[in-house]
Structure 1
Amino acid sequence: MSQSVNPLFQPFKYGALSLPNRTVMAPMTRGFSPGGVPGQPVVDYYRRRAENEVGLIVTEGTGINHPASVSGDSIPLFHGEKALEGWAEVVEAVHEAGGKIVPQLWHVGMTRKKGELPNAEALPVGPSGLTLTGEQVTEPPTTEEVEQLVAAYAQAAADAKRIGFDGIELHGAHGYLIDQFFWEKTNKRTDRYGGNLVGRTQFAVEVIEACRREVGPDFPIIFRFSQWKMTDYGAKLARTPEELEQFLTPLVEAGVDIFHCSTRRFWEPEFDGSPLNLAGWTKKLTGKPVISVGSVGLNGEFTRFSEAEATDIHELTERLGDDEFDLIAIGRAVLQDPEWVKKIKEGRTDEIRAFSKESLQTLY
């Protein structure tokens, strides 16, 4: 292993989570679970990453127990006997291969269209019934309905611990349900779930607290958030470090262990006047461990999902070595090449495959 990649292969420990290196498989929706149930191809897909030394696997987004949680009949669910049995097999396979794995718990909110499977009759749900572009599609949920959503996340957290996962990740990014509560354009509520930036964190706070009650003090809770939305790459929840601190503080107090800070390009500074990216600022402001992400090892942005060539990771390892962030999530590079981490470690960079859109059609 060359000196230059050494920071990537240092062990990481925080609380109950011990990892052999700093690499994370980023959550990527794959849609290979017919009827919402992950089968043997999905088991093998995650096992291959564990066998090839990915430090921590974060699964693709999995639907919590709410009829409108996902869009599509092949997106994996995280409720129901068959789906949970499938995930238990994934966990067993990953652990047998020496890996660690957490499920990403997900509700798509108002990005779901009326009539979409798996429950065509279920209406999309969001804080104010508004799409990301501001269209009123449904009525805002009542306080009781919001509390039911909180309970569904907590149930998923309890099930994750019961079937042997190493923690959970809550998907609070990219304009999905939790993020729709964060964003002023989609959250117009005037009850306890709305208001200013801090007020709009209340739904996430209750989700985190409810999950923590179910899993106990030592089970890792990772929280993923982003500034950008699928419909607006320039969107900002926090325009300054001070606003970012106001936003993050309630989440820390609610019980987040690790923040997964989603950016499109990890090398871009978050605020003027500092080279720190979003993960770097989050670590500085909270003192919590952070995962950075965004076009690692490739020369194209992941949001475009177009062709991308492999690139060197010198800047990444330098910033990791400087402790700007603690862990780095790799998406497309690991999606199409399960051996990416091992090849980087062993200096076999000439063997790394380029990413192509066709990669999305296969579980490599």
Structure 2
Amino acid sequence: MSALFEPLTLRGVTFPNRVWMAPMCQYSAAKEGDDVGAPHDWHRTHLVSRAIGGVGLVITEASAVSPEGRISPADLGIWNDRQADAFADIVSRIHSFGSVAGIQLAHAGRKASTTEPWAGGESIPAGEPHGWTTVAPSALAFGDYSTPVAATTEDIAGIVADFAAAAERSLRAGFRVVEIHAAHGYLIHQFLSAASNKRTDDYGGDFAGRTRLLLEVVDAVRAVWPADLPLFVRVSATDWLDDTSGLEAPSWTADQTVALVQLLQDHGVDLIDVSSGGNARAHIPVGPGYQVPFAKRVQNETTIPAAAVGLITEPKQAEDIVATGEATAVLLGRELLRDPYWPRRAARELGADITPSVPNQYARS
């Protein structure tokens, strides 16, 4: 038996296997007009083809909970019903091929209002076409990006409400998993890390203050998300800025991540998607499975299962991660861009049966 291809049940949802598609921004939504932020043919082809390829869970790219929460003006969003309706067709197609559809809800904070990566990924100042004023815990810029404004408590309350409203729309669109994006230097991560959060009010300062926004978002989403559907949180386990342990370190660290997940145990979170980095320009020692040790800590030191992501490319590698208990599932990103049918190839190499089964049209292969 292959651990990688065993089903997994979280709440009322059974994932047919442990090979999942990580959220990956496509920067391909309309920038203006009635369909701003809505998925279209590209997204349908991109997402549904991975369901046909056999992944157990397809998570959409970061979908903004407000227009100001987009990374770029070409990002997906789910801040209005037109966007939710466009997602609904894609979700039904994913489910028709036996995979589970999930959505990542996000707010980019100070890393918002940029051009697409292939256009330079540069900051678009407010007042320029497709640019807007960005918001963050503190008026500190990310690198050479535009300086954000510090969020007021009223702004924060509005952001929490935006996440809850986006979760409600996600439910109407048919998604069965919601993931809150608290990683990669986007807004919630900016609040978590002392490197970007210099506030002195209830949303800054000590560990309790810096984690407050995420806990409020989780509670607001869990309140509208059905009890039989799972809720995930993606975290960056470390900023890669220093090795200081303890809860009051000058940046975000693996020790703080474990402490955060221990808090989330009582807030209805069902799985932690463990990534790293993104909140500062830092040297990251990238290599095969380089983030797996962080997932292992969450898996072993808390009661919430973890999923591992980051340069997981080989079937035996993925199998060992799950079989040895380093993570409950693996999330593949770029490898699924290169090979949408990776799960089916992996099952053959591991001698495993795979669910979802091969579509009749492809059975001859």
Common fold: TM-score over 0.5: yes
Query: Does the 8 A contact of 1:126 with 1:141 survive in 2?
Result: yes
Matched, 1:238 2:248: no
TM-score, scaled relative to structure 2: 0.81
Rounded to whole Å, the distance in 2 between the matches of 1:58 and 1:286 is 24
Gaps of 5+ in 1: 271-275, 298-311, 350-364
* Map 1:126-137 → 2, pairs under 5 A: 126-133=136-143, 137=147
Cα offset, 1:44, TM superposition: 2.1
Residue in 2 that maps onto 1:253: 266
Q: Deviations over 1:291-338 (max 9, x none)?
A: 1011011xxxxxxxxxxxxxx443332231112210000011111221
Matched, 1:14 2:1: no
* Map 1:284-303 → 2, pairs under 5 A: 284-297=300-313
Query: Does the 8 A contact of 1:221 with 1:258 survive in 2?
Result: yes
Cα offset, 1:262, TM superposition: 0.8
Rounded to whole Å, the distance in 1 between the matches of 2:65 and 2:59 is 16
Residue in 2 that maps onto 1:301: none
Query: Does the 8 A contact of 2:79 with 2:166 survive in 1?
Result: yes
Deviates more, 1:207-216 or 1:257-266: 257-266
Matched, 1:173 2:175: no
Instruction: Decide whether aligned partners of structure 1 residues 195 and 39 sit closer, same or farther in structure 2, where only a CA change above 3 A counts.
Output: same
Residue in 1 that maps onto 2:247: none
Instruction: Decide whether aligned partners of structure 1 residues 265 and 279 sit closer, same or farther in structure 2, where only a CA change above 3 A counts.
Output: farther
Residue in 2 that maps onto 1:334: 336
Q: How many residues align?
A: 320
Rounded to whole Å, the distance in 2 between the matches of 1:118 and 1:279 is 41
Instruction: Decide whether aligned partners of structure 1 residues 325 and 119 sit closer, same or farther in structure 2, where only a CA change above 3 A counts.
Output: farther
Q: Residue type matched to 1:279 in 2?
A: A
Q: How large is the Cα RMSD of the aligned pairs?
A: 2.5
Deviates more, 1:166-175 or 1:194-203: 194-203
Rounded to whole Å, the distance in 2 between the matches of 1:318 and 1:118 is 50
Query: Does the 8 A contact of 2:50 with 2:340 survive in 1?
Result: yes
Q: Residue type matched to 2:102 in 1?
A: V
Rounded to whole Å, the distance in 2 between the matches of 1:117 and 1:77 is 21
Rounded to whole Å, the distance in 2 between the matches of 1:326 and 1:342 is 19
Matched, 1:141 2:154: no
Cα offset, 1:103, TM superposition: 0.7
Residue in 1 that maps onto 2:230: 220
Instruction: Give the percent of matched residue pairs that are identical in Structure 1 and Structure 2.
Output: 28
Deviates more, 1:164-173 or 1:333-342: 333-342
Q: Residue type matched to 2:289 in 1?
A: W
Instruction: Decide whether aligned partners of structure 1 residues 313 and 216 sit closer, same or farther in structure 2, where only a CA change above 3 A counts.
Output: closer
Residue in 1 that maps onto 2:77: 77
Residue in 2 that maps onto 1:362: none
Query: Does the 8 A contact of 1:172 with 1:178 survive in 2?
Result: yes
Rounded to whole Å, the distance in 2 between the matches of 1:104 and 1:127 is 21
Cα offset, 1:266, TM superposition: 6.1
Gaps of 5+ in 2: 31-35, 113-122, 244-250, 277-285, 352-365
Q: Deviations over 1:190-229 (max 9, x none)?
A: 1111121232110000000000111132221100001345
* Map 1:1-364 → 2, pairs under 5 A: 6-34=2-30, 35-65=36-66, 67-112=67-112, 113-115=123-125, 120=130, 122-133=132-143, 137-229=147-239, 237-240=252-255, 243-263=256-276, 265=287, 267-268=289-290, 277-297=293-313, 312-347=314-349
TM-score, scaled relative to structure 1: 0.81
